[in-house]
Structure 1
């Protein structure tokens, strides 16, 4: 049930006592107010799932409270109590947005039934809201994942294979490669769409707080713990939890994560009850976990539990052919966010961006584009707008093992045609082929020291064809 915190407002102390005792016995956190003004102050300062209020109270009536409380908290559900079972009261309460109406005196079973109905209604409402948000997020995630390189195609295929199952996925990749985006894509393409996606960065939360963040805590579990806290695993029930930077998790907590994966249950700090959770786990790390296992910094049994389906995100420097598309996307988004006229990169600027090693990966590229959009007043960005990059190590002459010839040619073509919406009919094929043929024949002739018979043999073409190409392409033969 989705209800946790209930506010009871009634000027009769006996009624407050009876309701609080009964509701706390059911496990709810209950807070009490003796009049409408006090109840409204409490609603202003804290959030509640449900308010049960008497119509007649000194200072502010229950109906006045209803109006003002719903202005402050539109999602607050209010049940009105009254000793006067008149049609006028019932109609007025419902017109003002009360969820239900109880006539005093009443049996506690009536309250139980209403709270159960309220809980179901809130569950449905939460699920509808969550589904709407997740559909929106799914669109954003799919829009944000850019790249058609072979490496990204493999990632897409893996997402498609694992999304429908509940297998645990371990995403590994350098910082800035988009691990959380991929985790969300797995969730949004799974049968758990419409259920929670809960992310937690294990490196960003202090050690002494991480356990309570993950598993929750009972009231009084430690100093300052005045109410029950729901942990991330409970929040993700029936959905997906994303454990980012799991390589930084302390060893003792790793053992508890292993138990969750094995038993599908958690125990809140300070509690003794085992709570069943149905959660799909996706973990991520920028570290080499096997190395940490060898150094006894990460549990071997947990590693194999997490590494059911490994998914590796390659760094941006190993998929440079995706850079032009990423640049175009980030330019469009940055200009829209900052409400400035559209900007484009010149061919020289794009070539510089494609040549950079990008140690911070896609995140660094995005921030670089944002910075250039902010600082440049021109619609066309040039290499001068990326001075910081030109001062760093450029890798335009990438090692052969980093990029294939095909990838280099494709990246160059993307640079040449960047910003062209529609390619017109013309001689592109012949022009591109000519530019590839000329250096190929020239290079082979150099290697054979101008020996045309040997060159034709290496290229696999007829000698007469070679001679014709040499003439057409204007190639000068250098002989030793």
Structure 2
């Protein structure tokens, strides 16, 4: 953030004009120098946000070569500095050349103090906004990891994380409901790490991936000789998670007979291994997940209602990636960065058409699909940028959202989604977001305030 009196550097060799300019800006901390060496020394010491630069400096006061040398040095040293150049020599050609070299604006001598003052104040305002945006963009990259390391800036997912954080410190059973690939295990692990059981083990089992005849042994363990092949006593997953958390993924695939045994454990907190005769007390917290409609399965008689109430003391619904506007781009950038390091790949970023493709795709396979697609694209990319062709997504397959029938509410919902997409695409940069949306920065600030989006996408306008 800038000081109360921002630093303005004036590079001017005319003594009379030096004095005139110095006293014209009482609201700035003004430093006046008259040659290249002094200008660059002041740049290093003060790092001013704005510089006014006379192109006609000694030893070439009648030309522009020395002034352009100073401009080039400033741009190399601190490219975000707003340099306002002045010259009476070949004004049009000098202006075009200065802008091409990175100057912010241009004015022609003789100097109009009031006009130059307007340009200077506008430059300071823009410098302040850009400094804020750089900080916000850094937040987009660093502050979007929430519970369990999940990357998100979507309020829908942040609400999920806050809910899980609230219940983490209790011993209630949590049911995570969501489509495949939405990050249920990552959230379950985050719940474990946020709880007072974090020192214990986190054990995960996918109930759909294990044959029915083996699932009981996996969960409850078995005694030596309990069945053919049981050559030693083996603890089940419930025992392995003693003092910690057991994550049962796809709990809807547990067969009915085994549901009874699981219910007994939840009620009495004791288990019996297959072939065992002795009850074993186990202190394990259960967290479950499924993509199935368990309430419909209860009606059909495929899932026990009493088990549902034991497992679903707290139910958390996880949104799909399509329901998390902007997160696909955030996640894609994180995945690409990871794969570039792990696989030693040259790809370091996405082209504009690739970002548009990622943003517009429906991602029916959710985060898992996105991760696999980015990995493939990173491997296939020829250069430093992954293109839409590398992603090979075809025609965008976005999911049609259910919009309210009220026109005002529908417009607001659409506006919110589009603004959040643009904020994420531009990494929180207000100027870039406004350009993407085709509106001015003040209009964007008004919309952020109107729709209460100040904290969305890592953006907190000040």
Shorter-chain TM-score category?
A: 0.5 to 0.7
Aligned to 1:38: none
Coordinate RMSD, CA, aligned: 2.7
Aligned to 2:375: 370
Alignment of 1:401-480 (within 5 A): 404-415=414-425, 417-418=426-427, 435=439
Residue 240 in structure 1 maps to residue 245 in structure 2 = yes
Q: Greater relative contact order (Cα 8 A, min sep 6): structure 1 or 2?
A: 2
Aligned to 1:257: 262
CA contact (8 A) 1:177 1:315 kept: yes
Residue 304 in structure 1 maps to residue 309 in structure 2 = yes
Cα gap change, 1:384 to 1:396, in 2 (>3 Å): farther
Aligned to 1:326: 331
Aligned to 2:179: 174
Aligned to 2:358: 353
Q: In structure 2, the residue corresponding to 1:147 is in which secondary structure?
A: coil
Query: Displacement of 1:434 after TM fit?
Result: 6.0
* Aligned counterpart for 1:270 among listed residues 275, 280, 287: 275
* Aligned counterpart for 1:385 among listed residues 370, 390, 395: 390
Counterpart-to-counterpart distance in 1, 2:261 and 2:173: 16
Counterpart-to-counterpart distance in 2, 1:397 and 1:295: 30
Counterpart-to-counterpart distance in 1, 2:361 and 2:433: 29
Counterpart-to-counterpart distance in 1, 2:390 and 2:194: 39
Query: Displacement of 1:413 after TM fit?
Result: 3.2
CA contact (8 A) 1:167 1:309 kept: yes
Query: Displacement of 1:395 after TM fit?
Result: 2.4
Aligned to 1:287: 292
Encode CA deviations 1:195-237: one digit per residue, 9 max, x unaligned.
Answer: 1111111111111111011111111111121211111111111
Aligned to 2:68: none
Q: In structure 2, the residue corresponding to 1:320 is in which secondary structure?
A: coil
Aligned to 1:213: 218
* Aligned counterpart for 1:185 among listed residues 187, 190, 194: 190
Aligned to 1:394: 397
Q: In structure 1, the residue corresponding to 2:234 is in which secondary structure?
A: coil
Query: Displacement of 1:317 after TM fit?
Result: 0.6
Give TM-score scaled by structure 1 length: 0.57
Query: Displacement of 1:412 after TM fit?
Result: 2.0
Encode CA deviations 1:115-169: one digit per residue, 9 max, x unaligned.
Answer: xxxxxxxxxxxxxxxxxxxxxxxxx995740102111111111121111111100
Query: Displacement of 1:399 after TM fit?
Result: 5.7
Give TM-score scaled by structure 2 length: 0.59
Counterpart-to-counterpart distance in 1, 2:214 and 2:280: 20
Counterpart-to-counterpart distance in 1, 2:401 and 2:440: 18
Q: In structure 2, the residue corresponding to 1:191 is in which secondary structure?
A: coil
Aligned to 2:209: 204
CA contact (8 A) 2:270 2:279 kept: yes
Query: Displacement of 1:430 after TM fit?
Result: 7.3
Query: Displacement of 1:334 after TM fit?
Result: 1.1
Unaligned runs of 5+ in 1: 1-139, 441-480
CA contact (8 A) 2:434 2:440 kept: no
CA contact (8 A) 1:354 1:396 kept: no
Query: Displacement of 1:324 after TM fit?
Result: 1.6
Alignment of 1:41-60 (within 5 A): none
CA contact (8 A) 2:204 2:249 kept: yes
Counterpart-to-counterpart distance in 2, 1:189 and 1:175: 23
Encode CA deviations 1:311-335: one digit per residue, 9 max, x unaligned.
Answer: 1110001112212211110110111
Counterpart-to-counterpart distance in 2, 1:225 and 1:298: 30
Cα gap change, 1:298 to 1:361, in 2 (>3 Å): same
CA contact (8 A) 1:141 1:181 kept: no
Counterpart-to-counterpart distance in 2, 1:337 and 1:360: 23
Unaligned runs of 5+ in 2: 1-144, 405-409, 445-462
CA contact (8 A) 2:184 2:289 kept: yes
Alignment of 1:108-147 (within 5 A): 144-147=149-152
Counterpart-to-counterpart distance in 2, 1:220 and 1:381: 56
User: What is the number of residues matched between the two proteins?
Assistant: 293
